């Protein structure tokens, strides 16, 4: 049995398979997932697991080169936006309208669905390298 890090086998596998610039998405419970993109559904009930909790856990194992959020997050969910910036380097941030964000998801290796009920609680993580 794995002792540390992500213990969800499917999520652990996806993280370990990512190469430089590959992307994964952490999404709220209402984010539409494009057909053909792998879905890792962690949602158990409203708020469980939460977006921030999921992001923190993934960041323990994933080297992030940059990240993308919808511009609407800053206005509609400002507290969540600020917490996201605390976890990720704001200098690495890229923003774009939510409709473009959803189109960009089509290239993701996986979308991780959380139980989050906060609007625009979504981020695209672009994998970096550790060397």
DSSP string computed for 35-101: TTSEEEE---BTTBS-HHHHHHHHHTT--EEEEEEEHHHHHHSHHHHHHHHHHS-GGGEEEE-HHHH
Annotated catalytic residue: which of 13, 20, 86, 107? 20
Q: Is residue 12 part of a domain?
A: no
| Beta bridge partner(s), residue 23 | 126
CATH of the domain at 46: 3.40.1650.10
Q: Is residue 72 part of a domain?
A: yes
Q: Is residue 50 part of a domain?
A: yes
pLDDT tens digits for 31-50? 999 999 999 999 999 999 99
- Is 98 marked as binding a ligand? yes
| Beta bridge partner(s), residue 45 | 48
- Is 91 marked as binding a ligand? no
Q: Is residue 103 part of a domain?
A: yes
pLDDT, average across residues 17-27: 98
- How many domains would you assign to the chain? 1
Q: Is residue 5 part of a domain?
A: no
Does 126 qualify as catalytic in the annotation?
no
Percent over 70 (pLDDT), the chain: 100
Q: Is residue 13 part of a domain?
A: no
Q: Is residue 15 part of a domain?
A: no
pLDDT, average across residues 7-31: 97
Contact 92, 19 (CB under 8 A): no
Distance CA 79, CA 10 (A): 30
- Is 75 marked as binding a ligand? no
pLDDT of residue 12: 96
Distance CA 60, CA 52 (A): 13
- Is 120 marked as binding a ligand? yes
Q: Is residue 8 part of a domain?
A: no
* Full residue range of the structural domain in which residue 53 is found: 21-127
Q: What is the pTM of this model?
A: 0.96
pLDDT of residue 129: 96
pLDDT tens digits for 58-101? 999 999 999 999 999 999 999 999 999 999 999 999 999 999 99
């Amino acid at each position: 049995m794995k002792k540390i890090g992500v213990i969800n086998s499917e999520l652990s596998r996806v993280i370990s398979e990512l190469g430089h610039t590959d992307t994964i998405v952490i999404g709220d419970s209402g984010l539409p997932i494009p057909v053909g993109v792998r879905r890792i559904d962690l949602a158990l009930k409203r708020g469980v697991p939460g977006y921030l909790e999921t992001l923190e856990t993934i960041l323990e194992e994933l080297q992030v080169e940059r990240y993308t959020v919808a511009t609407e997050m800053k206005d509609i969910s400002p507290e969540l936006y600020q917490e996201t910036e605390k976890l990720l380097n704001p200098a690495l941030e890229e923003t774009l309208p939510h409709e473009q964000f959803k189109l960009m998801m089509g290239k993701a290796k996986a979308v991780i669905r959380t139980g989050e009920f906060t609007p625009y609680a979504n981020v695209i993580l672009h994998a970096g390298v550790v060397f």
